[in-house]
Amino acid sequence: MKSLSDIKKIVKEKYGQIAKTSAQCGGGSCGCNSNMTVQKQSGEMGYSEDEMTAVPDGSNLGLGCGNPTAIASLKEGEIVLDLGSGAGFDAFLAAKKVGPTGKVIGVDMTTRCWKKPEKMLKKVVLRT
Ligand SMILES: C[S@@+](CC[C@H](N)C(=O)[O-])C[C@H]1O[C@@H](n2cnc3c(N)ncnc32)[C@H](O)[C@@H]1O
């Protein structure tokens, strides 16, 4: 039987690999298989085309097991904690809903995942 630290290492490696090559689903966690595009997988989870194009390129890794911002009834000014935020797909969508008076905190244990939104945020901030 594998130890908890072995399991954590495997999970980190797997998600790190997906973050590196995100254009096509790379055997993601929920129904995303190698023959499916990220867009198609997210569409099946209920994300609209508008949502998928509103986020920075590369933030959607096609890993979602649901569509949390569709059911969370987020309001302006709220604070959102996204545990396992990946490259920030849901966090960027949540940020639009809570607006400038709100806050979104993304937490992810896979370094390669959170390095992506960090770079994207710099671009988004520079553009606004
Ligand atoms: C199914 S993915 C979801 C990513 C994101 N919400 C999305 O839709 O693109 C799960 C994420 O949780 C992270 N994760 C798994 N276990 C974790 C833990 N114990 N602490 C922090 N992050 C974790 C993984 O690195 C991965 O990025």
pLDDT, tens only, 31-40: 566 667 888 8
8 Å CB contact between 16 and 112: yes
Distance CA(92)–CA(96), nearest Å, equals: 7
The rounded Å distance from CA 102 to ligand 1 centre is 22
36 phi, psi to nearest 5 deg: -115, 140
Phi-psi region of 31 (alpha: psi -120 to 50; beta: other; left: phi over 0): left
Q: Give the distance (Å) from ligand 1 centre to CA of residue 15.
A: 8
For 7-50, the pLDDT digits (tens) are 999 999 998 888 887 655 555 556 566 667 888 889 989 999 99
CA–CA gap between residue 104 and residue 59 (Å, rounded): 15
pTM of the model: 0.85
Residue nearest to atom 18 of ligand 1 (CA): 109
User: What's the CA-to-centroid distance between 84 and ligand 1, angstroms?
Assistant: 3
Domain ranges across the chain: 4-127
Alpha-carbon gap, residue 85 to 90, rounded angstroms: 7
Residue of 6, 10, 52, 63 to test ligand 1 pocket, by largest number of atoms within 8 Å of CB: 63
pLDDT of residue 68: 95
Probe ligand 1: pick from 85, 90, 111, 120, max atoms within 8 Å of CB? 85
Q: Of 66 and 125, which is predicted with more confidence?
A: 66
